[in-house]
A = this chain, B = another copy of it.
Amino acid sequence: MTRPTINDVARAAGVSKGAVSFALNNRPGLAADTRERILQAARELGWTPSPRARALSVSRALAVGLVVARSADTLGADPFFPTFIAGVETVLSERGHALLLQVVGDHARERESYRRLAREQRVDGVFVTDLLVEDERPALLAELGLPAVIIGPGLEEPFFPSVGVDDGPGIAAAVRHLASLGHRRIAHVSGPVEMVHGASRRAAWAGALRDLGLPEGPCVAADFSAESGAAATRELLDLAEPPTAIVYANDLMAMAGMSLAQSRGVDVPGDLSITGYDDTEIAAHLQPSLTTVSSDVIAWGAAAARRLLELIDQESA
């Protein structure tokens, strides 16, 4: 009933446990037939090496961490994470690594989380999300010696490995789409500008307008939440010269903004055009349906995982 160990396999194959280990990790120094005999025995006993024991002897955790510092509300509304995690899993599972998740409320706890993961050697590396323009985490992680990759557009300086989808083209396409509909006053409701992906989408919006030779419309900074999206929209509509189109930095704010506009009697898309970003499922089922920008988040997660494992490998070499 109890799980077989490497000793059982060794006994069954009539060799030492060292030999079993060699066969398993196919390292040189074993005759082909012996190797086959060992693997055969392992197969018959249904033996798989214990990651626990393995982790101890190779001094690796065989796991990576994802620490998310967000309020439950913001997190719950964001379709990004589950999808991203699904992508990460595809790579991790085939490399025998596990994903350790921590959801914390604020940045202080987040630091504490990283410290603990490092101190207890629970993980071999971590993902960093929601990067701030002036983020202290890269320095902290460097200090802790924990390999990390940033999810999303990275920083130029100091250099830090990152895997991101460039927001630029998507936002630019949205702006061009609106311009082609004849809009001239195109506003933007951004995410927090202290966050890199808030700032980068904003920059992309401004850049696209410039490229089209259009004036930079009004821009209101929000925080990706529905509430802030509604507030920002209210502010824009109250302007002396309200925009005729708004590019939102995510779908959630776009939805809230659209509802608010409609409640004020603004006809969408007649008087006001709206675009979102993320391509949530619900976006297509709103009235009118929301124009949005999608990206292949599964592939993104997979790429990020591969990059992190790569970093970990070269670290231990």
Number of interface residues of A (CB under 8 A): 63
A21-74 residues at the B interface, CB under 8 angstroms:
48, 50-53, 55-56, 61, 63, 68, 70, 72-74
What string of 1s and 0s marks CB contacts (under 8 Å) between A286-298 and chain B? 1110000000011
Q: Is the CB of A52 within 8 A of B61?
A: yes
Q: A51-B120, A56-B56 are contacts. A285–B230 as well, Cβ < 8 Å?
A: yes
What copy number does this chain have within its complex? 2
**Is A225's CB within 8 Å of the partner chain B?**
yes
Tell me which residues across on chain B come within 8 A of A287, comparing CB atoms: 259-260, 262-263
**Is A215's CB within 8 Å of the partner chain B?**
no
Q: Is the CB of B52 within 8 A of A119?
A: no
Q: Is the CB of B52 within 8 A of A227?
A: no
Tell me which residues across on chain B come within 8 A of A98, comparing CB atoms: 100, 122
Closest 10 CB pairs of A and B: A76-B79, A263-B287, A75-B82, A72-B83, A256-B285, A259-B287, A86-B103, A226-B282, A226-B285, A101-B101
| Partner pick for A226 among B53, B102, B252, B284, CB 8 A cutoff | B284
How distant is A288 from chain B, measured CB to nearest CB, in Å?
8
How distant is A161 from chain B, measured CB to nearest CB, in Å?
22
Tell me which residues across on chain B come within 8 A of A85, comparing CB atoms: 101, 103
**Is A105's CB within 8 Å of the partner chain B?**
yes
Given contacts A85-B103, A230-B285, 11 further A-B contacts (CB under 8 A): A51-B120, A52-B52, A74-B281, A75-B82, A76-B280, A82-B103, A93-B116, A99-B102, A100-B101, A259-B287, A260-B287
Q: Is the CB of A120 within 8 A of B282?
A: no
Q: Is the CB of A103 within 8 A of B120?
A: no
Q: Is the CB of B76 within 8 A of A81?
A: yes
Which residues from chain A sit less than 8 Å from chain B, CB to CB? 3, 48, 50-53, 55-56, 61, 63, 68, 70, 72-83, 85-86, 89, 93, 98-105, 116, 119-122, 225-227, 229-230, 252, 255-256, 259-260, 262-263, 280-282, 284-288, 297-298
Q: Is the CB of B75 within 8 A of A77?
A: no
Q: Is the CB of B281 within 8 A of A73?
A: yes
Tell me which residues across on chain B come within 8 A of A227, comparing CB atoms: 281, 284-285
A-B contact pairs, 24 of them (CB 8 A): A48-B120, A51-B120, A52-B55, A53-B56, A55-B55, A56-B56, A72-B298, A73-B79, A73-B281, A75-B86, A76-B79, A76-B83, A77-B280, A85-B103, A86-B104, A89-B103, A93-B102, A98-B122, A99-B101, A225-B281, A256-B285, A259-B287, A262-B287, A263-B287
